[in-house]
Amino acid sequence: MHVPTLSLRKAAAVAAAALCGLAVTAGPASATDGWKHKPFDYYLALGDSLGAGWQPNATTGQGYISGRGYADDIAASLKAGGTKYVNLACPGETTGSMIHGGCPYPEPYKNQLDAAADFLKAHRGDRVLVTIDIGANDVDGCAGPSGLDIQCGLNGIKQTAQDLPVIVDKLRAAAGHKTEFVGSTYYNPFLASWLTGSSGQSTAELSAVFLNLFNAVFTVEYPLHGVRVADVSGAFSSNDFVHQVQLQPGVTVPLNVARICQWTWMCAPKPVGPNIHANDAGYQVMAKAFKDAI
């Protein structure tokens, strides 16, 4: 997943102050609630950088697999029950590279989908939980300092809609009847452009329209192929432009914008931000959304 850059220095200054004193009362619920007694032998995490737990270093901004992603939170919750954890998620993975191979992050496998299918075939008789988030890298390059590239966004949504059934069908064909699948929708990191002024606010509103189109692919295709849906978008209040939250004295933003500042690195000042990945709190919110889908 690539990182768009906010264009105004003032936005970074406001965001930095917001992170120091964010006036949002509702925090993430514990991702461990309700997971301890789930009867899984294995937990297989698939997807892109969010599945891998990617975050920027809080000092230098250098990205790395943090070991504190949503999948890691879920795995920690299941550990008490003896569940073994396997994470094949690859930072930078698109739906196309997941099918055909070529994820830019070095992995021991050539093709994540083939590796996942091989694992599921080898454990057909086991109780396996599979989580997946894939598709963000098909569209995330479509927004930047100059706004949202509409045709790019539409092309990315179309590509995800074409590829997702291929991915899910191969996984389900490889899996045994005790395997449970949960896929996710996405939050909207581009809401952070709201902080850059009136033009950025228009971009944020337009990005919400595209996010809903994009997430519709998952809410339709996943259930059609026997996969439950974790509503990550809803957990981040992605469409809530109505409720207002004070970021700092004199600066009030919609709740969905506040959530992005609170639960991702999009509002962090350089060199750490803006970065579209969730922080520890955001990954916990995602983990709970997956738990709620089980």
- Domain of 84: which CATH number? 3.40.50.1110
| pLDDT less than 50: residues of the chain | 1-27, 29-32
Query: Is 78 within the bounds of a domain?
Result: yes
Contact 252, 237 (CB under 8 A): no
Angle at 253 between CA 247 and CA 254, to 5 degrees: 125
- Side-chain half-sphere CA neighbours of 257 within 13 A: 29
Two tokens at 53?
């737990």
DSSP 92-146: T--HHHHHH---SS--SSS-HHHHHHHHHHHTTTS-EEEEEE--HHHHGGGEETT
Query: Is 82 within the bounds of a domain?
Result: yes
Q: How far apart are CA 158 and CA 148, in angstroms?
A: 16
Contact 110, 67 (CB under 8 A): no
Which pLDDT score is estimated for 143?
Answer: 78
Which pLDDT score is estimated for 251?
Answer: 87
Question: In 3-state terms, what secondary structure has residue 153?
Answer: helix
Query: Is 249 within the bounds of a domain?
Result: no
Domain containing 114: what range?
26-188+216-235+276-293
Q: What is the largest CA-CA distance in the chain?
A: 59
The reported pTM is 0.88
Query: Is 105 within the bounds of a domain?
Result: yes
Contact 73, 115 (CB under 8 A): no
The number of folded domains in the chain is 1
